[in-house]
Structure 1
Amino acid sequence: MAAKTDRSDININRSMPPGKIIPELVYDDLDQAVVWLCQAFGFKERLHFRNHRCQLVLGEASFIAKANPTLTESSNNNRLQPQPNQMDHSVLVRIEDVDQHFEQAVKSGASVISPPKDYPYGERQYSVEDIGGHIWTFSQSIADVDLSEWSGVLSDNPEDAF
């Protein structure tokens, strides 16, 4: 039996990255993608497993970069990597400094979808496409804005959401 974390609803497993929700994104060239994601977005490599997956972390956020299953012999999954300009998902990551992060991403060759912009809900965000065609939005909290100021509606039991 795995040990419990300080949050009793999650067991510890050193082979898993932190977090309850861990996106898995597919790349044609996994090694190239890992190097690029670390350089462009500041991720750190946590665990690289053979030639088909790598866990990356940024602060408390994590995700798994996977080799395109059509390129690995052991996979029977026929899903393909998304193509540029064909959005089927996106990943939002909270960071401390959107402007500095944006500069590094652009310098590394990220394709800009929307430059840094302040939003009425208290976030400064930008969105880019990575070298694998995945859409990333990076967000910095700049104000704690009352939900009613931007038409937000909190659920009846917000404490149940965390």
Structure 2
Amino acid sequence: MIQNRSVPPASVIPELAYDDVVEASEWLCKAFGFRQRLRIGSHRVQLVFGDGALIVIERKKTEGDRSDALTHAVLVRVDDADRHHEQAVRAGARILQPPTDFPYGERQYNAEDLGGHHWTFSESIA
């Protein structure tokens, strides 16, 4: 595969649509620890987290839009779920499930961002 320097090197790159791309990308950096990689105008921003990537795109309004339906979830691996959770709470994230230990060896919490997108942040504990 040819590597395009303008695209993050991750194999899978979710694109999440928001009404205000700039506001959303800044909030994701502040609340969840992403870092801006590339901004293209006010309609597209590439974010990175470790070796992962995310592209924030402009939400397009269409006839019969089902924007209230949950159509995805994004899982992000973190070093410390509790510390990350505290950062998200301080930034105003809506917490759907507090940090919880699971029998499959992960400590996870779930949050909703300002665009209604659901996130799972996961720390390996076993």
2:76 to 76, 93, 98: 93
Aligned residues: 126
Quote the Cα distance in structure 1 between the aligned partners of 2:59 and 2:66.
Answer: 7
- Aligned residue identity for 1:127: N
Quote the Cα distance in structure 1 between the aligned partners of 2:25 and 2:72.
Answer: 19
- Aligned residue identity for 1:15: S
Aligned to 1:35: 26
- Aligned residue identity for 1:89: H
Please show how residues 8-157 of structure 1 align to structure 2 within 5 Å.
10-70=1-61, 80=65, 82-83=67-68, 86-143=69-126
Instruction: Decide whether the 8 Å contact of 1:69 with 1:79 is kept in 2.
Output: no
Distance 1:79 1:62, change over 3 A: farther
Q: Tell me the CA shift for residue 52 of structure 1.
A: 1.0
Structure 1 residue ranges without an equivalent (≥5): 1-9, 71-76, 144-162
- Aligned residue identity for 2:67: P
- Aligned residue identity for 2:125: I
Over residues 30-67 of structure 1, what are the superposed CA-to-partner deviations in whole Å (9 max), with x where a residue is unaligned? 11101100000000000001121100001011110001
Quote the Cα distance in structure 2 between the aligned partners of 1:51 and 1:79.
Answer: 25
Between structure 1 and structure 2, the one with the greater Rg is 1
Distance 1:80 1:96, change over 3 A: farther
Structure 2 residue ranges without an equivalent (≥5): none
| Aligned Cα root-mean-square deviation (Å) | 1.6
Q: Report the TM-score when normalising by structure 2.
A: 0.93
Q: Percent identity?
A: 52
Moved over 2 A (4+): 77-83
The structure whose RCO (Cα within 8 Å, separation 6+) is larger is: 2
- Aligned residue identity for 2:97: S
Greater fraction of residues in strand: 2
Aligned to 1:4: none
